[in-house]
Structure 1
Amino acid sequence: MARPAPTGAAWSPSSTWPYLYCPLKIRSFEMTTVALLGTGIMGAAMGRNLLKAGHDLRVWNRTMEKARPLEADGATLAADPAEAVAGADVVITMLNDGDAVQQAIEAAAPGLRAGQVWAQMSTVGVAAVERLAGFAREHGLVFVDAPVQGTRQPAEAGTLVVLAGGPADPRLDPVFSAVGSKTLWVGDVGAATRLKLTTVGFGIALTSVLAEVLGLAKGLGVDVGHFREVITGGPMDSPYLQAKLKAISEGDFTPSFSVTNAEKDTRLIAEAAEQAGVAVDLARAAGDRFRRAEAQGHGEEDMAASYFAGFPTA
């Protein structure tokens, strides 16, 4: 017969045996089975944090070698997307663009089942997210538009900001908590992608402006140290500016967010802006600079390498 929980000063462990009284609040944990399609810079970092949080992780990547380090960390390596998603509670896509996501999820179709949650966390643009949501409806999936704000460092630290649109399915709570420091639910499917294009556009514009200005400084013979002294601690300073200034000054273009990915995002921003009747001159100009840097061989370097676009004849 059930006995009441212990209350009052007269309670003692012996009087309530066999119940164990513990004043601490215990938080239960239920392991989630996650299928991660895409293990590039961002996907691999997110996968490691999912493993650290105790989730059962299956991974697939078009280039298998990029997924093998996660296998060493405890993930199950799948031969194809269908094998990865079979039996998963949550499916995550973290791939380069909408076409890559479409190809992967179509290949996964034989392993999908109605009711699975699909968190589409890549930056794919407005048109693509609508197309992908249509695929989800056809297959009975719970589709959440959930691109992330942040680059390699916050991905590795598990401090991404998840921008989420669609149904707030509770199965996603432990997954989003493992990869991010905050989840911002912003409305229906598509709302998160529109917000992501806005925020990534801000980062791209800041980087492009700094890269161009430092190119100008070099051309004019200005000491970059003097430029840093003027900016640091003033109203134009920011941690982001300092990080990119350091990268360009030291010639360290280890990618947090590559030139190629940034160029892709400028096209997505321009397409969305055109549909909305908005002129995005800076995004288009940044795209031109990224394409020049790509042609110079800097595509896989950090987007700060658009600095080199300032010297087209070099």
Structure 2
Amino acid sequence: MTNSATAQRVSVIGLGAMGTALAQALLAGGHQVTVWNRTAARAEALVAEGAVLAATSAEAMAAADLVILCVLDDPAVREHIEPAAAQLRGRTVVNLTTTTPEQARSLGAWALANEVDLIDGGIMAVPSMIGGPAAFVLYSGATAAFDRFRAVLELFGRAEFVGADFGAAAMYDLAILGGMYSMFAGFQQGGKMVRTTGGTAAHLATLMAPFLQAMTTMFAQYAPGIDDPDNYVPEQSAEFTASALGTIDKAAAESGTHTELFGVLLRALPGI
């Protein structure tokens, strides 16, 4: 637990499942936590744990040196912080709302114009993982402010700073999620295919999970093909990859579960 000499005044705006988990982690870390949510009843458990409930989001922001937003979307973020520009001047705002990189950059420009230290973030965890060893959060933007509050942010999970570009954390976040959803799409299609042979998706899951986990070690080998393509020599030729994807696509068609997925992969992975 953080001692009284290092405790920070932190406000959390938005108490959905994730915002609540963030506030709980801050309270467990010994910080002075003020919370606000449109539906005040959601704050009752946190107040019982020691949080202070603000009457308005502006009041919550004025009560803290570090303000954390975890709301629905970019318009919701703007709704709260733009009218509170005066209260936020000289403070640090960490936006953990999922937005696009350009939305994050636009918010960063607003923050610079209003003398607000903005850190944009992307949470790589579900609420139950917050504070656990598997959770990490991506951050970008105001470097000095991140360094100042890093110990606080580490309460949520490993804090990974990815650059001063306000949009960098959002880009990394969405890139990782894109990989995740692509994997899920492959499993969904594979499950349909094996069922046509009398198999089950449940059995496929037990086989696919360890194989894909092992294959993630290949990311480091493929990365130079993206970062330095002129000097990259792939382990497998593009022709091999194309042939493999063509065979998988043919098998999907033969099973009666044809999909556009493998054609998309063929266009997306020409150099692997």
User: TM over 0.5, yes or no?
Assistant: yes
Match of 1:252 in 2: none
Determine if the alignment matches structure 1 residue 121 to structure 2 residue 91: no
Give the Cα–Cα distance (whole angstroms) in 2 for the partners of residues 46 and 158 of structure 1: 15
- 2:161 counterpart (160, 168, 184): 184
Which amino acid is 2:180 matched to?
G
Give the Cα–Cα distance (whole angstroms) in 2 for the partners of residues 146 and 41 of structure 1: 17
Q: 1:217 to 1:135 in 2, by over 3 A?
A: same
**Deviations 1:126-148 (CA, angstroms, capped at 9, x unpaired):** 22112211321232101112222
**Please, what TM-score do these two structures have when normalized by structure 1?**
0.60
Match of 1:153 in 2: 128
Answer whether contact 2:102 2:167 (CA < 8 A) is retained: no
Match of 2:69 in 1: 93
Answer whether contact 1:33 1:88 (CA < 8 A) is retained: yes
Q: Higher mean Cα deviation, 133-142 or 203-212?
A: 203-212
SS at 2:155 equivalent = helix
How many Å apart are 1:203 and its aligned residue?
A: 1.7
Give the Cα–Cα distance (whole angstroms) in 1 for the partners of residues 22 and 31 of structure 2: 12
Match of 2:236 in 1: none
Determine if the alignment matches structure 1 residue 130 to structure 2 residue 98: no
**Deviations 1:176-214 (CA, angstroms, capped at 9, x unpaired):** 121112333433221122111111211222223323433
Give the Cα–Cα distance (whole angstroms) in 2 for the partners of residues 204 and 58 of structure 1: 35
Determine if the alignment matches structure 1 residue 56 to structure 2 residue 28: no
Determine if the alignment matches structure 1 residue 223 to structure 2 residue 206: no
Which amino acid is 2:149 matched to?
L
Which amino acid is 1:192 matched to?
A
Q: 1:208 to 1:28 in 2, by over 3 A?
A: same
Q: 1:225 to 1:87 in 2, by over 3 A?
A: closer
Q: Give the unaligned 5+ runs of structure 2.
A: 217-259, 265-272
- 1:45 counterpart (21, 38, 50): 21
How many Å apart are 1:29 and its aligned residue?
A: 4.7
Answer whether contact 2:10 2:68 (CA < 8 A) is retained: yes
Match of 1:198 in 2: 175
Q: Tell me the number of residue pairs that the alignment of Structure 1 and Structure 2 aligns.
A: 214
**Please, what TM-score do these two structures have when normalized by structure 2?**
0.69
Answer whether contact 1:90 1:171 (CA < 8 A) is retained: no
Match of 1:236 in 2: 212
How many Å apart are 1:229 and its aligned residue?
A: 4.5
Q: Higher mean Cα deviation, 129-138 or 83-92?
A: 129-138
Give the Cα–Cα distance (whole angstroms) in 2 for the partners of residues 44 and 204 of structure 1: 25
SS at 1:79 equivalent = coil
Which amino acid is 1:184 matched to?
F
Q: Percent identity?
A: 28
Q: 1:153 to 1:211 in 2, by over 3 A?
A: farther
Give the Cα–Cα distance (whole angstroms) in 1 for the partners of residues 91 and 59 of structure 2: 14
Q: Higher mean Cα deviation, 27-36 or 49-58?
A: 27-36
Q: Higher mean Cα deviation, 192-201 or 221-230?
A: 221-230
Give the Cα–Cα distance (whole angstroms) in 2 for the partners of residues 66 and 158 of structure 1: 27
How many Å apart are 1:107 and its aligned residue?
A: 4.4
Q: 1:224 to 1:48 in 2, by over 3 A?
A: same
Which amino acid is 1:60 matched to?
W
Give the Cα–Cα distance (whole angstroms) in 1 for the partners of residues 44 and 20 of structure 2: 10
Match of 2:253 in 1: none
Answer whether contact 1:32 1:89 (CA < 8 A) is retained: yes
